[in-house]
Chain A
Amino acid sequence: MFDKLQKAISNVEALGADFVEARYDGFDLVQIIKENGRITQLATKKRAGIGFNVFYKGATAYAFSADISPEALDKAAKNALGIAKASSGSVIIKSEVDERTPIKNVRLEPNFKDPAWKLEMQDKIDIINRMEVAANEHGENISSLMLLYGELSGEKYFTNSEGTEIYWSPNVLDLRTMVTSKTQEGELVTAGDGYGGSVGLEYFKQEGFTPEDLGKNAALWAKEKMKAKVAPAGEFRALCENSLTGVLAHESFGHLTEADFIVQKGSPIHDKLGEQLGSEEATIIDEGVMKQSKHVASWWLPYDDEGTKTGKTVLLDKGVLTGYLHSRTTAKHLGAELTGNARAVNFTFAPIPRMKNTYFTPGDINGEEEALEQLGTGIYAIKTAGGQVGGSGDFLFKAVRGYWVENGEKKYPLKDVSLTGNILELLQNVEGATKDFSLYSGYFGGCGKGGQFPLPCGLGGPKIIFSKVRFGGESK
């Protein structure tokens, strides 16, 4: 594959291209969905193709093809060069890269004890059946039960004009249970449990993470939600659980540090490097390769899609903005170090600055009980159905479980509750964090930007106490 890609690179270099990057992304996916007792999806997918990113006089263009014949490779590379030439006269901010020593002979495979792609289809179905049995056993008045299994494996080849040659094998495995229960009043409430990451099947043999645990938790949480009350609207002290703080780190802060937004001055923190943005308790990191453990199932990303080795980037250090997430062109433009954040979701996209595994660092509060005590009275918000952030840092997140807490005690469960505000204000309200830390990624869901969705990313952190969060509440 490297030879085929290099041949097309040489051909467009001869036609005037200044610099060329080429990729082959080949992914194999398995997705099983069982709904209300029936397997509604048993799918095998192959997603493979090539793409060329061509630089010409400060302009770049990307062209791709699912056809990987030598003619198709040539055509894609030439198309990209043609568009780059058409753009070169109109570019105001030039896209250029600094020269770099080529990286050769990189060949990386994940090291799993029990890789999912080796499992027979029937055994994969058995896993979701185990979630199903547990959910039915523990649930109450279930009106809908959905079980999901998702798996991605594959190979990525990267090469460029410098002669870099990198091969690695991306992997992710994910299990989910979603339960909908009907209350006596006929209202439908949903709850789910599930985890994913670059892990083998051994991950789901650990206590608390077995298919039985996931099915049981989802069912019990749906049952609990049948008695949940509407969260009050207004400003309250808040305790956010680990996966929710991960989403805050990723969605509301991480995106603002992506250097394409910085170069374009589209981010509200584009001119704030070195400034104290948050409280001293707030440290946020973006990292490519983390040590997997019981509570860390990160997305394994050794190299980005420009062949840069991924690092550990401190974005916010005790509240001070210390870095942005770069591609080669943004790093060159801003005179910054490379961070290895140029990522593309598949061969149909050029890489752009994206996050890897993004998290708040832990603090010194001893677990949930002590955190609730320190919270006193307020809202304990748990897990999330996702969120959104605008260019100005305004955000909205939906916590899917929660409790109203008084004097350190959980008083009653809450329905879905939304957290809103501006991240730059929220970071100043970080009062403390727990010692416990967890981080997950996954096959289902993922990050979306510029039409590139779903890109696997890891999110996580400790539990965090905020002195003040605005909760949206719901209509009565």
Chain B
Amino acid sequence: MSSELNNIKADLLSRIDRGLKYSQSKGAEAAEIYMINTDALSINMMAGIIEAKQGGQIGIGVRCIVDGSKMGFASSSGITDEFVNFAVDAAISAAKSSTTDDRWQNFVQSSEVGKEGILDASVLELTSEEAVNGATTIFKEAKEYDPRIVSVTGSIDVDYGAYGIGNTEGIAKSTAYTTGVSTVQITAVEDGKTKTSFDFSMGRGAPVFEGLGTSGGAKVIKLLGATSLGKTGQMPTIFNPLAAGQIIQTGLINSVNGKSVVEGRSAFADKIGAEVGVPFLTIKDDGQIPEDPNMVAIDDEGYARQTTNLIENGVLKSFIFNNYYSKIFEAGNTGNAQRGGPQSYETMPGVSPTTIAVDAGSKDLQALAEEIGNGVLVTDFLMGMMHSNVVSGDFSIVAPSSFKVENGEIAGPIEAVTVAGNLYKAFKQIISLGNETDLTFFGKVPSISFDGFTVSG
């Protein structure tokens, strides 16, 4: 299996090498080629319907420089010579129409690479029969858990592949990954009122599916019989790891982003060395957690992935950068170049966190509840988080899966509440950190209790 991924890597590097030579023959003064080849299998069991899909990302993204600092970008699906030539020609043509950029220096020059993540053969070996069986098991477990459950979606997703980057500074690097994710989403109804729950498992190997339907089923039944909170005002809140991950990630996505800092859109721009959080808050951008599905050896322009301390004991220590913005800011590259979107090769490398990791505290959920006494426990997916104003930090979200906290106990479920606050003040409004250390879709973030958010319900 490592031989299959090694073959893909070698193939990418040889195609990149040819493409770079072609770009120079066509007059590019400097060029960079990103090329990706992956395969993925996805099975969704949705209320008895199976939605199945197979196929991966195959494509290239090319940046070319002419006249010293004029840059053009082009991308194409496909990696054969014909598509590589198209993208190189289009990038050179775009560069000629572009403007000079006095801040441009060069593509990545460093030859270092980070550690490669775990490559697990079980992902490549998973058959479509096994994947269908996994999704069906999740579905059946959940469906049989309780008669009030009306709708279940179980999914299995496996993905593997490699990408490579080469440029005319002489770098030629590649990295591979294997990932497996299973999820369940469950809807239950009681007295005409609907609640949904979500559970998941994620890692570098074939996904776990047994037990997921049962745990998701238990979660949704706990949410039934919700009553109205019946008040509006400032009160303490506890966010479980998935919910806390959304708050923390949204709070950092712009504020520590080196591009936003340089372009004048970051609230933390002049705060390096300043206290931005409570003294027991330490947050890293960690691109090197071996069991993290998101781990690779190099970022999306070929710089070594690494671990960066963003906030240490409440003090802002570092921003995150890609090559371009690290040079403008005269700071070190942190390996945070990222090409977003479902087709990564279509995007120019921006700046993005890898995996946000908050150092855990010592309290379990019960202890967090005892500490706040009265308030609200918010769990799982928050609606509207991505519509927060990441410039000012103001957020206002709806939390559909919430519980009352009364006299230090987690009491019954409540109907959707609105929670409003400011993402940047929130770092200083933390009461305590939970003790969880699991990875979720929103990083490695424990439960967090906050003071001072406005809750309405």
Contacts and interface: CB of A to CB of B under 8 A. Distances in A.
Interface string B100-111: 010100000000
Given A43-B348, A83-B52, A470 B133 contact: no
Nearest to B40: A348
A284 to B, nearest CB: 21
A41 B101 CA distance: 12
Interface string B302-323: 0000000000000000000000
B128 A82 contact: yes
A21 B452 CA distance: 55
Contact of A475 (B77, B196, B420): B420
Contacts of A391: 187, 194, 196
B87 interface: yes
A85 to B, nearest CB: 8
Size class of the contact patch on chain A = 35 or more
Given A188-B392, A416-B394, A83 B128 contact: yes
Given A42-B73, A93-B49, A475-B454, A67 B425 contact: no
Nearest to B425: A475
Give the interface centre of B41, B46, B53, B95 by most chain A CB atoms within 10 Å. Answer: B53
Chain B interface extent, by class: 35 or more
B348 to A, nearest CB: 6
B75 interface: yes
A195 interface: no
Nearest to B421: A475
Given A47-B77, A418-B384, A180 B46 contact: no
A238 interface: no
Given A67-B80, A473-B456, A45 B346 contact: yes
Nearest to B341: A453
Contacts of A82: 128
B94 A43 contact: yes
A121 interface: yes
A348 B55 contact: yes
Contacts of B51: 60, 350, 352
B387 A386 contact: yes
A327 B248 CA distance: 39
B191 to A, nearest CB: 13
Contacts of A451: 342
A92 interface: yes
Nearest to A453: B342
A63 B97 contact: no
A398 B74 CA distance: 34
A394 B54 CA distance: 33
Contacts of B453: 475
Point out which of A67, A68, A472, A473 has the most chain B C-beta atoms below 10 A from its C-beta: A472
Given A64-B55, A180-B391, A415-B394, A90 B74 contact: no
Interface string B42-66: 0101111111111100110000000
A122 B131 CA distance: 50
Interface in B252-291: 263-265, 267
A163 interface: no
Contacts of B454: 233, 473-476
Interface string B67-79: 0000111111111
A264 interface: yes
A247 B79 CA distance: 39
16 contacts: A42-B71, A47-B346, A49-B78, A60-B51, A62-B52, A63-B53, A65-B58, A66-B77, A76-B55, A86-B132, A233-B418, A394-B416, A396-B387, A453-B342, A472-B420, A475-B234
Given A43-B75, A48-B76, A475-B234, 12 more contacts: A41-B348, A43-B348, A49-B77, A66-B77, A95-B49, A189-B391, A233-B420, A260-B49, A264-B151, A264-B153, A348-B55, A392-B196
Interface of B: 41, 43, 45-55, 58-59, 71-80, 83, 86-87, 90-91, 93-95, 97-99, 101, 103, 127-129, 131-133, 136, 150-151, 153, 187, 193-196, 232, 234, 263-265, 267, 342-343, 346, 348, 383-384, 386-387, 389, 391-392, 394, 396-398, 400, 416, 418, 420-422, 425, 452-454, 456
